[in-house]
Amino acid sequence: MGTPGKVLYMIGGGEFGGAEQHLLGLVKSLDPGEWAPHVAVFYNGEFADRLRELKIPVTLIAPRTVKALAGLVPVRKIIREMKPDILHTHGVRSNLLGRLANQLEGHPAASNTTIHSILSLDYPIKWKRILFGILEKITWPLVDHFILVSRSMKESLMKEGLPEKKASVIHNAIELPKQPPARPEFSLIREELGLSQDAVLVGTVARLHKVKGHAYLIQAIRKLKEKYPNVHYVWVGGGEMYTELKEEVQRAGLENVIHFLGARKDVPELLPQFDLFVLPSVMEGFGLAALEAQMSGIPVIATAVGGLLEVIEDGRDGLLVPPQDPDALAKAMDRVLSSPDQFRLMARTGQEKAFQYGSLDRLIQETTDVCRWRRNNKPKEYPPEKRATDLRSMVLVLYLTTRVSSFHHNP
């Protein structure tokens, strides 16, 4: 077969969210005879720990350098020493540093980027949203191929100028168990929370970020509290809005029914213990959490946004509601909670679909097909005239990056 292709993956890794789950599932399943992965991260955390447990090479790039031009130095060093066949970036900062470092090294690696979310919704602060949007688009010409996790994301980015000939859609996926998980006879999470075994649990797995829509779920829960006193809401995930959401829950008088679990490693074990799963996102690139919930065989309610429209068929394998609409969300939850038996068939249909289309094997095959083609059609070093054009763009990027660092330290 020859020498395995060297792939340098870059990702923040500060959280263990959908992008990190995606990449972990991919790198641990690659054929070692064909591919030799190496992952560069900006943070030591659960993601990096899991990679090390799997004996996958990991390089930590200090977070303080990532926010300034100094971040280019270690990335260039990795590229120069590793000489990867493929550079595959995930996330805005990884994209920026990886693309520029690869270009400064003479473009030795074919450059791929997987885009997991809509950038404008990841940055609630206006100046960051504008600045990172500019930085991302300026460096698009330095990418050989883009992978989008949903058709809706591809359509959205094409409207912003993403070249269609450079883009393909590879739907996200999860590692499926050999058999569909069964609901446990004894619920450990109910015991952990001090609840009776007959308490009804509504689960949400999402990082605590504005784009995930927890604030709208709080409003919906307020509308249902009196009708369903035995229903408890379990929120799995950490994030920047933890304190703000805790305070909002207290103001709503819901602190006894909404339980914050933080980030957990046992999500696959938690999901079958829920009676209902709700994902109230304002936007989703794909909606991996909804797919995981379907795989677990529980009813799913989600918002009709982004990739969720490609995960859930409303009324057949789940329920979809308009985003940012607490009334519609409460009505959908009421439908399921008042007639749980009626929605068991819907849950089974969702589970069957998840096992049919959500396999990690499919994602690995489609992604390695792209990498294989890119490796065999690796771009040559840029000619001087094109390099000059790109360098002019890079000067602007480098200046803006410096300003990012300045703004970060002087808000």
> Cβ–Cβ contacts within 10 Å for residue 298, how many?
25
Helices in 54-125 by DSSP H: which ranges?
Answer: 63-66, 72-82, 92-104, 119-122
Please say if the pLDDT value at position 211 is more than 60: yes
The string of pLDDT tens digits covering residues 298-356 is 999 999 999 999 999 999 999 999 999 999 999 999 999 999 999 999 999 999 999 99
Return the bridge partners of 258, or none: 233
The proportion of the chain whose per-residue pLDDT surpasses 70, expressed as a percent, equals 89
Instruction: Give the pLDDT confidence score for residue 410 in this predicted structure.
Output: 36
Cα separation of 109 and 132, whole Å? 24
Instruction: Give the pLDDT confidence score for residue 367 in this predicted structure.
Output: 95
> Cβ–Cβ contacts within 10 Å for residue 316, how many?
12
Any idea what DSSP says for residue 378? Answer: P
The string of pLDDT tens digits covering residues 222-258 is 999 999 999 999 999 998 999 999 999 999 999 999 9
Smallest CA-to-CA distance from 146 within 190, 103, 99 is with: 99
Q: Domains of the chain (ranges plus CATH)?
A: 5-173+361-409 (3.40.50.2000), 188-358 (3.40.50.2000)
- Asked whether 80 and 2 are in contact (CB, 8 A), the reply is no
Question: What's the pTM value of the predicted model, to 2 decimals?
Answer: 0.86
pLDDT (mean) for 167-173: 95
